[in-house]
Chain A
């Protein structure tokens, strides 16, 4: 698949945002989210994800809170109400895109 790497990357861009917003409906921290994304098939680089979380927080789609109860203090992120609305909008768009793409190949079957 390496020959199509650029195109695949371009198609995937933006899906990570949606995946984060959906996964963070229940709070999570950086590394756990990285693993969750990987498990769900959105393999993301750490150096993309960590700044992305900050950006989404700055834009008001995520809220954050430091949890210092455990031995290692961690910053937990959670999708804000605005973020949930964004996630719903993006999901709807994704579905309509999936339908549209399916309609492209329908005649072949």
Chain B
């Protein structure tokens, strides 16, 4: 004999309930459903159709079972949602960036191809994003079902400062001073040198860069200064300014990274001076690091990654401010 629809409905409902409740709920549901069918039949409906209608009205057995078991029908409810979302955002900012960054650095130092290193660290970064998302959510799903407190309470002191638009006077002064120091340092490096050599100054930047490459650098510095002044006069970040900022930043990156990769950025005379001044200790360290291409190569990789990270942040920051500015303009 095949089971009736009612039997199937009841068994689907109580399947996920605690064993202790099952028999009681089964008996009660049987009576309730039979009562409802009876009432419909008394009004002249056919028995089979009445049964179908009654069960259809009762709806998805999963919902009914959740009602009996007092189970939530959501993954994360309002009690935990904000705590979950804030933590997830924080972790997604920090963890993948740190891991992928460290990974890229390690691969580059160990002499891997640049493109391959980037692809590998991006892959790992994506995996980390999936892991962070899954495990954080899982913890909160368990919390939601056990009803534990997160211990996170909101307080007036947590109110964030109103973010600066980054187009104020202090920003202008800071960037002009920084650009001035940078330009001054380049000239000082050539004329006076940064460290005592006991004779002629040895510049850190390769003298072969004069005049063209250094000329381009000065042009970029001047453009950055013009950009800072324009930003200050405009009083706010716009999409156009973010685009300009990106172009300028990329130009800087190209300038530094091309020279670094071609090994033309740093004065070879300066490197040999360091090697000599470092004496035996340096030679031993260099021999140890030979597998990774020597100390200078490691330093070059670190410098290159540092430049790339700084430039990347500058670009992202510009877009962040432009987007936020657009948001407030609309609101």
How distant is the Cα of A74 from the Cα of B57 in the complex, in angstroms?
21
Chain B residue, CB-CB nearest to A51:
B67
Scoring A31, A32, A45, A73 by chain B CB atoms within 10 A of each residue's CB, the highest score goes to: A31
Tell yes or no: B35 within 8 A of A by CB.
Answer: yes
Could you jot down 10 A-B contacts, CB within 8 Å? A31-B32, A32-B35, A46-B58, A51-B67, A51-B68, A51-B70, A72-B31, A74-B35, A75-B24, A75-B28
Q: Is the interface of A mostly helix, strand, loop or mixed?
A: helix
Set A29, A45, A54, A74: member contacting B68, Cβ < 8 A: A54
Shortest Cβ gap from B289 to chain A (Å): 68
Residues A31 and B63 in contact, CB atoms below 8 Å apart: no
How distant is the Cα of A50 from the Cα of B25 in the complex, in angstroms?
9
Interface size class of A (residues with CB under 8 A): 20 to 34
Given known pairs A50-B64, A55-B70, the reply for A45 and B32 (CB within 8 Å) is: no
Number of interface residues of B (CB under 8 A): 19
Tell yes or no: A30 within 8 A of B by CB.
Answer: yes
How distant is the Cα of A54 from the Cα of B14 in the complex, in angstroms?
14
Q: Residues on B close to A: CB < 8 A?
A: 24-25, 27-29, 31-32, 34-36, 39, 57-59, 63-64, 67-68, 70
How distant is the Cα of A32 from the Cα of B38 in the complex, in angstroms?
12
Chain B residue, CB-CB nearest to A72:
B31
Residues B31 and A31 in contact, CB atoms below 8 Å apart: yes
How distant is the Cα of A35 from the Cα of B36 in the complex, in angstroms?
10
Chain A residues near B31: list those with CB within 8 A: 29-31, 72-75
